[in-house]
Amino acid sequence: MQKLELVVRADDWEKAKSVLSEVKITEKRRNNYTPINGLFIVAVTRDKSLDTEGYITINNHDSVAILSDTDSQVRAQEILKHICLVETQLRKLLLHVSDSIEAYFEILHTNSEYTRNFGGGFVTTKGKLDPITSHLTFGETVAILGHDISWSAKPLAGADLKELLSKSTNFDDFKTYLENKSTPTYVWDIIARDVLKSKISWDEISGNINGLKSFRNKSAHHHIISEKQKNMLIKRVESLLEKITPKRKLNSSELKTLQENSAQILKHYQSLIHNDAFQHQLGLIADLKTQLTLPSLQLARSIAEFQSPAIEVVRQLHLNTLANFDLYGPKDSENN
């Protein structure tokens, strides 16, 4: 059973009833009404829900609107449930580039007031159940993904000029490096390149994400949503999730090759490094053969104090696994 509240603009109740008849709300379906300064709040109960045509008829009438709709409330909850999948996925992707983008925390703080008091330079902190990206609103997340991190978006500092000169051996190098650093580059572009291994540009995907943001706000603020709109939104979510979710899986042959390559790298460097603490870390990395997960950022940081061969182990293993593993947990091979 569907329950609605309609607001009708009319001089008196007789004219209000005429308006209701025009939108096919019969007297049988009306429960009661409340007059308010030239408006009438009318309670309506329906055994059969309004169809798409019914919503369109009300939408196209200039003297009646829907205040509340029990069916729409259910649809709104379903929409929020689906959009949550996208919002959470975007937050995960932002976590992946916390070490890749030099001004990562500055970008978050610039675009979100809710992240400014979140500990210094860490994505997690004591006393917070959520990581820093979970403190972003959907709108802030979209703004951060579309944040331009190139030199064209900021005044050049002395350090930037020093970097430009140090990378240039001649004037052609100077021009090429300056052009590359000044080409608009969005946070999304780093995610697409390094995490998703995708060529989808921010211009291609931002329209879909902004569309979801609009639907999310309508749902959260109890706007009226039809069944047709809900179904369209769910299809959009499913399509977007395909584009923003890493989905590379290993088949049995690739898995065997990865294990062999990892073992060879470890064997080579184990012959060079004899530090006991590093040997312990190598043992942890060797667990890749059974755990099949990415070397964690914490592990990489914990051995950063060792010499370059140690860092090279982590770098090679990280690059080797990044292109092949599901980034969010162990992945079974296709033949399992």
The answer as to whether 160 is a domain residue is no
Residue 262 domain boundaries: 252-322
Shared domain check, 316 and 198: no
pLDDT in the model for residue 22: 94
Shared domain check, 237 and 101: yes
Domain finish residue from 224, 244, 264:
244
138, 145 contact by CB (below 8 A): no
Q: What is the pLDDT of residues 79-94, one digit of tens each?
A: 999 999 999 999 999 9
Q: What is the pLDDT of residues 240-296, one digit of tens each?
A: 999 998 865 556 675 666 666 666 666 655 555 555 655 565 565 555 444 444 444
Beta strands in the chain (DSSP E): 2-9, 30-36, 39-46, 64-69
Q: What is the pLDDT of residues 20-72, one digit of tens each?
A: 999 988 877 777 788 888 899 999 998 889 999 999 999 999 999 999 999 99
The answer as to whether 68 is a domain residue is no
The answer as to whether 309 is a domain residue is yes
Better-predicted residue by pLDDT, 156 or 8 = 8
34: left (phi over 0), alpha (psi -120 to 50) or beta: beta
Q: How many domains does the chain have?
A: 3
Shared domain check, 58 and 6: yes
Shared domain check, 225 and 106: yes
Tokens of 156: 């050049």
Shared domain check, 281 and 225: no
Shared domain check, 92 and 240: yes
What is the pLDDT of the chain when averaged over all its residues?
78
Q: What is the pTM of this model?
A: 0.64
